[in-house]
Amino acid sequence: MDLQLGGKRALITGGSKGIGRATAEVLAAEGMDVLLVARDPAALAATAAGIRARWQVQVEVLAADLSQEAEVQRVVAEAGVVDVLVNNAGAIPPGTVLQVDNETWRRAWDLKVFGFISLCRSLYPAMAARKTGVIVNVIGAAGEKFPPGYIAGAAGNAALMAFTRAMGHASQKDGIRVVGINPGATATDRQEMLLRHAAQEKFGDAARWRELMAPMPFGRMGLPEEIGAAVAFLASPLSGYTTGTILTIDGGA
């Protein structure tokens, strides 16, 4: 299926690994140029080299800490024309309301919550001026399931869900679509970290984390490529009447 994305350009945050990297690969396979933003220059370079080796598209990288407003504005200034923004950066740590201290909570939200919001707000005017653009916020299913052992993430994701829906309900007047994806458990390094934490809590042994996958739908976690494919479809003209909505991909959990 031709998603009609060829020749367009995407900015992907958290683009060096996990869902961000998989999304970049899917979009590159569709003929899109990609700008990858993450904090680790070496990881960005490795990801970019892998994509260039497989597809004839332009791949740019920009190392930046999007928890810092000055860094967000530097990215916006250097990004140039962005047809599709994929907000994906951020890793809110697990813990209950008494386990996550204020400093950790604020630091995590500066990247995952305010980083998303700031980048959306900063790129929106240029998209509106062109009367075209798509924003895909990769959020997380905890925002609708409210696990108490992941309270900072649940609250942050719920806030981003509301932000995405509110923004997307008005953006069509400017020719822009804003959508979200809520991945459930997905086979990334971050998810392994969360499962290790859960295994430590449940079994007293973080090394038993794989046992927690047995009751999952289809007996496995989702794949980053499955999320990336959904990003690509939602970003494409084939989904041109979709805005202000959020797709949950959790195997039916």
State both tokens at 218: 């289809």
State both tokens at 24: 């970049």
- How far apart are alpha carbons 180 and 174 in whole angstroms? 18
Q: Give the DSSP H/E element, type plus range, for residue 235.
A: helix 224-235
- How far apart are alpha carbons 40 and 99 in whole angstroms? 28
Query: To 10 degrees, what angle do helices 18-29 and 41-54 make?
Result: 30
State both tokens at 106: 């604020």
- How far apart are alpha carbons 92 and 71 in whole angstroms? 19
Catalytic residue among 55, 116, 150, 209: 150
Does the annotation mark 150 as catalytic? yes
**What's the DSSP call for residue 185?**
S
State both tokens at 205: 């042994």
Residues acting as catalytic residues: 150
